[in-house]
Structure 1
Amino acid sequence: MIEIVEYLRELTEKERALEFYLLQEKGISYEWRDTRPFLEKTFDERTLAVRYLNSQGLCGISYTLDLSREGIKAAIERSKSLSRAGLPSVYPSFSEEYPLIERRPYFELSKESILEILEEERKILLEDKAIRRIEREAFSCGEEEIFLIREGRVFSFSVPLYSFLISVVADSGMKSASAYTYQSAISFDNLDILKLSQDAKRRAKALSLAEKGVSLKARVLFPPLASLDLLSLLSFSLKGDEVIKGRSFLKDKIGKKIFSEELSVIDDGLNPSLPETRPFDDEGLPQKRKILIKEGVVEGFIWDAFYGEKTGFSSTGNARRPDPSSPPKVDFTNLYIEKGSKSPSELLNSSGFVFEVLEILGAHTADPISGDFSFGVSGILWEKGEPVKYLCEMGLSGNIFELFRDLEIGNDLTFFGDTGAPSLFFPSMDLG
């Protein structure tokens, strides 16, 4: 790898219009179906993306898995050819200072140690007679190393990643229902497999008891996993490119109080415990911690170099590649809603009925430009902290910008990889 990186560096020193993005992923993944081995895969993959910025300011990109000198030269020629009809782009000047972020060591877990943990998890789950199947378990551990090479300079950073997904089936005698949950973290110690399993069990059991209810008005609680869908819908309007395109509802709202004082949204590219933290973004500019919404006030947006230059804003270190074959675009690092002060149990104990959302269907149909949404939801109806009904096939609609004007936020901020949210509690919504 050292020889390849040095060769690429020399090429960019000679030809400043070239940029290389080299991604190496290595690790191991396992999957079980009905507690039986289904898939075991060891991976060690390298992907090289080549960008070429021509004299007209148009960029061509190609990628290759062939890291021989012949393969690299062929990818360079493709990128040059594609630049003739490429997208407008810029290569920003490198910074003089970058944040110091410690690299986390990667430890590959043995299959035996993973199975030992799973055996304990399975025993606890299957002791509950309502759990009929553990239909899927998936575990992976690996390390991702990134090299960004341009103008004779090399930026590199590596991140370990451990992930677990579980899906279980419960049967109440009325019907069967499944539920899943997942989490990824840069340390195995932060991956709580037993807690995840208990959460999947609780949701599956509740959904197996659910039946169609009547229309009602209730307070609504979105637990952290369900809150991610609301954050995703809101976050569209916090991207600088959507501001430029005129599609962001918040485009002219900087400095204005639009939401509840409870709401603060942060994109933190420097938090050492989160997976998208590193010193540089995919354009080679320093990553930062950005407060996008503070106590309901819109503080700013995320920018890459290209869109930042168009508006007079500087890059916020938010150029990201969706995959190695794509050019950098405006995107988040580690995005989350800041936690509040109340526990989920305090929120559920509120007076009147509280509907806890355990499943959302149709989140992808929401309109991020207008903020309008209409979900199918299932969950538990609570009264004074006690479950009174289990409901399914209920409709929940509204507008995300109006919804976030009045809410309470739980103290249970939970990350599911690079995105996190606490419980979100809304004082009045119509369920139909």
Structure 2
Amino acid sequence: MLTWKGVGFALADFMEIARYALQRAASLGADQVEAFLNAGKELVIEVRDGQVETMKLARDRGLGLRVMVNKCAGFAFTTDLTKTAVEDIVRQAVSNAASAAPDPYRVLPEPASAYPELNLYDPAIRKATVEEKIELARAMERAARDFDPRVKIIESAAYHDAEVEVTLVNSRGIQATYQSAYCGLYMSLVAEENNDSQTGFAMDYRLQYDQLNPVKVGREAAERAVRMLGAKPVTTRRAAVILEPYVVTGFLGLLGPGLTAEAVQKNRSPFAGKVGQEVASPLVNIIDDGALAGGIASAPFDGEGVPTGRTVLIEGGILRGFLHNTYTAARDGVKSTGNGVRGSFKSPPEVGTTNFFIQPGTISPEDLIRDTQQGLYVTEVLGMHTANPISGDFSVGAAGILIENGQLTRPVRGVAIAGNLLDLLKQVDGVASNLTFFGGRGAPAIRVAGMSISGH
């Protein structure tokens, strides 16, 4: 009898289900089999004017099954973990494999000698009462309103947490499990003055409940809105541009897919054929680390059971390599970097980033601004989705604060910045010390020596 415990089924039950699925798939002719089970719970609380506006608690659990039959891969998933349902998806996965083309690189990984030891589960997240979590959102909202009377509208003041249990078993001997949880705060608001309104937001996600600081998040969101009141365009120019950490993570999101071996193998990466070459300024170091202490995307193993770890992609401006899962690694004759990521049991693993970041420099963001005679401090970009991830070309709307004689002066809106992502990386001439993570991506402020700013 399978029983619901905590987030999902007990891990022992998960292991029993996985072994049963493996045995049934083998009996139907599968050469290799992988069972990926997870159970999750997610809580979202939104507060407005001190009152709870919405509260959502969602649970999800299921099994994703991958099989290899004569080098043909098949996949199926189910949310029903009864024996009958498991039997059904085993047959479905094997049937799906029969419709696939054979591929000699479709293999499953072997067991690892060890996995990184990570502190991913803080019991305080579950122990905290709903009332205490509501109070965090209220405190954040109060801090924003107390920061400045021009903060008029709270669009969202939310507390969010999630926990997950993962079990992965394959026919090559991997039997691995872990439990993780995270919590966070998010705020968006509007400040108004003289018929002008500006938005501001802030967020903070942590693995440790006691590290959440609602006052800091509330004040930061308010400051971001208030400082942009009265923003106007500037004249068209070419100037130095300092990109705030959040803006840099937007560019990182554009960059990430091109640093996967999958994109290279499909000729969809601007970095193809450039390993060992200079692709960025010597100040730029880009890293992916699935075992990063405190990282929201950290886990002891990836979506295939391969140990996670630190992969240096760009070091001192030199391209060192790409992110791999088991499939892309087999194609290139190398080892997986532990980047076989999967959003849930509903899809097979793909190649993707984990904790993906630009390494911080040693100069403070304040000194980086003081060291910039004339330029634009960019706090927001619009239309990043229109950028071309293969060529790297972009033209996006921008807002920020003008830099004059090393000082932040007046707010700017209604301008655009354009260029090429690879050119941008090569023109970085300043990297600040304020590495800040927004979910799985992190960056410090960076200065680009010269960019085209289109105004009026």
TM-score, normalising length: structure 2: 0.89
* Aligned position for 1:399: 420
Of 17, 22, 36, which residue of structure 2 is paired with 1:7?
17
Counterpart of 1:64 in structure 2 is: 78
1:219-278 deviation digits (Å, cap 9, x = unpaired): 211111111011122223211111111222222221222211110011112223112222
SS state at 2:343 partner = coil
- 1:139-197 per-position Cα deviation (integer Å, ceiling 9, x unaligned): 12231111112126421111111022111110021311222232322112333332222
Instruction: Report the equivalent of 1:425.
Output: 447
SS at match of 1:207: coil
Could you say which residue in structure 1 is the equivalent of 2:437? 415
Relative distance call for 1:192 and 1:219 in structure 2 (3 A) is farther
Give me the whole-angstrom Cα distance separating, in 2, the residues matched to 1:255 and 1:322: 32
1:279 Cα deviation after fit: 2.2
Greater CA deviation, 126-135 or 347-356? 347-356
For 1:24, what is the secondary structure of its paired residue?
strand
More displaced 10-residue stretch of structure 1: 100-109 or 218-227:
100-109
C-alpha separation in 1, matches of 2:397 and 2:250 = 13
Aligned residue number for residue 269 of structure 2: 248
After the TM superposition, which parts of structure 1 deviate over 6 Å for at least 4 consecutive aligned residues? none
- Which of 98, 113, 123 is matched with 2:142 structurally? 123
Q: Distance in 1 between matches of 2:69 and 2:229?
A: 59
Specify whether residues 59 and 34 from structure 1 end up closer, same or farther in structure 2 by C-alpha distance, changes over 3 A only.
farther
Q: Write the mapping of 1:124-143 to structure 2, written as runs, cut at 5 A.
A: 124-127=143-146, 128-143=148-163
Call closer, same or farther: CA 1:232–1:397 in 2, change over 3 Å. same
Equivalent residue for 1:314?
A: 335
Contact 2:427 2:450 in 1 (8 A): no
1:110 aligned partner: 129
Aligned counterpart for 2:320 among listed residues 281, 294, 299: 299
Give SS of 2:52's match: strand
Taking the aligned partners of 2:175 and 2:372, their CA distance within structure 1 comes to 59
Deviation at 1:314, TM superposition (A): 1.5
Amino acid at match of 1:387: L
Aligned: 1:20 with 2:30: no
For residue 325 of structure 1, what is the aligned residue in structure 2? 346
TM-score by length of 1: 0.94
Q: Deviations over 1:108-156 (max 9, x none)?
A: 2222223333343333322311100111112122311111121264211
Alpha carbons of structure 1 residues 293 and 119: separation in structure 2 relative to 1, 3 Å: same
Question: Relative to structure 1, is the Cα distance of residues 172 and 426 closer, same or farther in structure 2, using a 3 angstrom cutoff?
Answer: same
Note the alpha carbon deviations across 1:344-393, whole angstroms, 9 max, x for none.
11111124223111221100111111111111011111213433322112
Q: Distance in 2 between matches of 1:220 and 1:32?
A: 36
Deviation at 1:22, TM superposition (A): 0.8
Partners of 1:29 and 1:288 in 2: how far apart? Answer: 30
Query: SS of the counterpart of 1:134?
Result: strand
Q: Measure the CA separation in 1 of the matches of 2:79 and 2:394.
A: 41
1:27 shift after superposition: 4.4
1:150 matched residue in structure 2: 170
* Alignment RMSD (CA, Å): 2.0
| Equivalent-residue separation in structure 1 for 2:372 and 2:358 (angstroms) | 25
CA–CA distance in structure 1, aligned partners of residues 119 and 134 of structure 2: 31
Question: Is contact 2:140–2:217 with CA below 8 Å preserved after alignment?
Answer: no
Percent identity between matched residues is 28
Task: Provide structure 2 residue ranges, at least 5 long, that are not aligned to the other structure.
Answer: 1-8
Q: Give the distance between the partners of 1:385 and 1:123, measured in 2 at CA.
A: 33
CA distance in 1, matches of 2:112, 2:311: 18
User: Could you give the per-residue CA deviations for residues 379-412 of structure 1, whole angstroms, max 9, x where no partner exists?
Assistant: 1112134333221120100011111112211100
Specify whether residues 10 and 124 from structure 1 end up closer, same or farther in structure 2 by C-alpha distance, changes over 3 A only. Answer: closer
Partners of 2:223 and 2:19 in 1: CA distance: 53
Cα deviation code 1:286-338 (max 9, x no counterpart): 21211111111111111111111111121111111133211111111211100
Aligned mates of 2:36, 2:285 — CA distance in 1? 34
1:83 aligned residue: 97
Q: What is the CA–CA distance in structure 1 between the aligned matches of 2:120 and 2:448, rounded to whole Å?
A: 40
Aligned partners of 2:138 and 2:157 also within 8 Å: no
Q: Give yes or no for contact 2:187–2:221 (8 Å, CA) kept in 1.
A: yes
Structure 1 residue 102: deviation in Å? 4.2
Q: Map 1:259-408; keep pairs closer than 5 Å.
A: 259-407=280-428, 408=430
Distance change in 2, residues 1:27/1:374 (3 Å)? closer
For residues 126 and 280 of structure 1, what CA distance do their matches in structure 2 show? 43
Separation in 2, partners of 1:427, 1:35: 45
- Counterparts of 2:136 and 2:327, CA distance in 1: 47
